[in-house]
Amino acid sequence: MNDLLIAGGIGVAFGAALECAGLGDPPKLAGQFYLRDFTVLKVMLSAMLTAMLGAFWGGRLGLFDSAAFYVPDTYLLPQLVGGLIFGLGFVLSGLCPGTSCVALAGGRIEGAATMLGLLAGLLLVGLAFPAIESFYRATPYGPLTLQGLTGLPYGVVVALVTVIAISVLAWIAKREARP
Amino acid sequence: MRPLRSYADPHLAGVCLGLVLLACFALTGQGLGASGAFASVASGVISNVSPETAAHSAYFRSYLQDGSPWTAWIVVEIVGVLIGAAVSAALAGRTRSMFVRAARPSAGKLFASVAGGILMGIGAALARGCTSGLALSGGAVLSVGAWIFMGTLFLAGFVAAPLVRRLWP
């Protein structure tokens, strides 16, 4: 029960943050792919930087055990192909799974249409699963991290990702400042 | 039509989102998610309609083995997202019942939304997560698969965008 209270509370905060950022608005999200609205990249990079640095420094300072945080397993080919199919769907809908809920909550009909499509797509995968299971389980690498892959220390990878992400954000700011 | 109120600064909203993600990691050990809720609900529907079909697929079974798929952690989280976003939009005066892309819903554009959802459902199932659960949450803990997924999703989006230009006037 306590778990589900946390789930609901985290969800409310998650939904409010996405809505405030404007990520319930399909033309705004699609605008990222036409380089005319950079909200998606700005929000994703700022959020990722905050959580990555928070996890690193919180772990260093002993606030929590960040080494126990769940790292998704890497399945090279399924994730590569999954990303390509997902990106195609993203530009058709102008929404992703989380933001489709935000769009519906703000009264946008596309949100409901995208949510129905998502349910249908996942039903299709479940029904076809015996046929695609071998591909689904192909090229497994377990919970591989960038520091595990490169052999660099955790702190160095965090510093490199920080520099790259801030450079991208600075490039976007410079591009937008142009008359 | 009255103009919609403007949104928050995206960097500031992103930092808030990052703090929500960090709180989620600290409280539960796991990140945020979205597509998993749809997979859980799809599994629940199938197990009600045809339990044999659900039992035949290891994919549906994986969502049915730990208690009811209707009250899974991620389903409750997504109900929270719907509530949080609805309250936030209403308080900020940004709620408007409408079809954003056109004055009236056109069948073609509505179909594009459904088709996009179907493709994202398939993609998220193969990748084991979506922009929230894999790209953002996995990216923050430096998962290699999360970064691969993020790279190929943006690649496909940028390549496909000119082909569907007329959807986004």
Mean pLDDT of B36-47: 97
Q: CB–CB of A131/B51 below 8 Å? A: no
Which among B57, B81, B82, B154 is the top mutation candidate for probing chain A, defined by the most A β-carbons within 10 Å of its own β-carbon? B81
Nearest by CB: B125 against A103, A125, A141: A125
Chain A 14-73, residues with CB within 8 Å of chain B CB atoms = 14-22, 24-27, 30-34, 38-39, 42-52, 54-55, 58, 63-64, 66, 68-73
DSSP assignment letter at B92? T
Q: Which two tokens stand for residue B134?
A: 């894999």
Per-residue pLDDT of A40-97, as tens digits, reads: 999 999 999 999 999 999 999 999 999 999 999 999 999 999 999 999 999 999 999 9
- Residues of A in Cβ contact (< 8 Å) with B60: 126, 129
Per-residue pLDDT of B68-116, as tens digits, reads: 999 999 999 999 999 999 999 999 988 876 655 444 567 888 999 999 9
Distance CA B18, CA A51 (A): 5
What is the overall mean pLDDT for chain B?
92
Mean pLDDT of A169-179: 92
List beta partners, residue B143: A145
- Residues of B in Cβ contact (< 8 Å) with A64: 25-26
- Residues of B in Cβ contact (< 8 Å) with A116: 114, 117
**For A59, left (φ over 0), alpha (ψ -120 to 50), or beta?**
alpha
User: What pLDDT, on a 0 to 100 scale, did the predictor assign at position A52?
Assistant: 98
Per-residue pLDDT of B5-38, as tens digits, reads: 689 999 999 999 999 999 999 999 999 999 999 9
By CB neighbour count within 10 A (0-12 exposed, 13-18 middle, 19+ buried), where does A18 fall? buried
Helices within chain B (DSSP H only): 10-28, 35-49, 51-56, 58-64, 73-91, 107-127, 137-140, 144-160
Distance from CA of A168 to the nearest CA of B (A): 13
Cross-chain Cβ contact A97/B137 below 8 Å:
no
User: What pLDDT, on a 0 to 100 scale, did the predictor assign at position B3?
Assistant: 53
User: What pLDDT, on a 0 to 100 scale, did the predictor assign at position B109?
Assistant: 85
Is ipTM > 0.95 here? yes
Per-residue pLDDT of A23-32, as tens digits, reads: 999 999 999 9
3-state SS of A1-59 is CHHHHHHHHHHHHHHHHHHHHCCCCHHHHHHHHHCCCCHHHHHHHHHHHHHHHHHHHHH
Q: Which two tokens stand for residue A70?
A: 């769940």
Per-residue pLDDT of A122-133, as tens digits, reads: 999 999 999 999
pTM greater than 0.90: yes
Listed by start position, the domains of chain A span 23-71+145-179, 76-143
Distance from CA of B14 to the nearest CA of A (A): 4
Cross-chain Cβ contact A8/B79 below 8 Å:
yes
- Residues of B in Cβ contact (< 8 Å) with A135: 126
User: What pLDDT, on a 0 to 100 scale, did the predictor assign at position B98?
Assistant: 61
User: What pLDDT, on a 0 to 100 scale, did the predictor assign at position B105?
Assistant: 62
- How far, CA to CA in Å, does B165 sit from each of A44, A134, B96? 24, 36, 25
Cross-chain Cβ contact B121/A130 below 8 Å:
no
Chain B CB within 8 Å of residue A11 CB: yes
Q: CB–CB of B67/B84 below 8 Å? A: no
Per-residue pLDDT of B112-168, as tens digits, reads: 999 999 999 999 999 999 999 999 999 999 999 999 999 999 999 999 999 999 898
Task: Report how many helices (DSSP H) and strands (DSSP E) chain A contains, helices first.
Answer: 8, 2
Chain B CB within 8 Å of residue A172 CB: no
User: What pLDDT, on a 0 to 100 scale, did the predictor assign at position B1?
Assistant: 44
Cross-chain Cβ contact A11/B81 below 8 Å:
yes
- Residues of A in Cβ contact (< 8 Å) with B100: 25-27, 103, 108, 110
User: What pLDDT, on a 0 to 100 scale, did the predictor assign at position B4?
Assistant: 60
- Residues of B in Cβ contact (< 8 Å) with A57: none
Per-residue pLDDT of A94-109, as tens digits, reads: 999 999 999 999 988 8
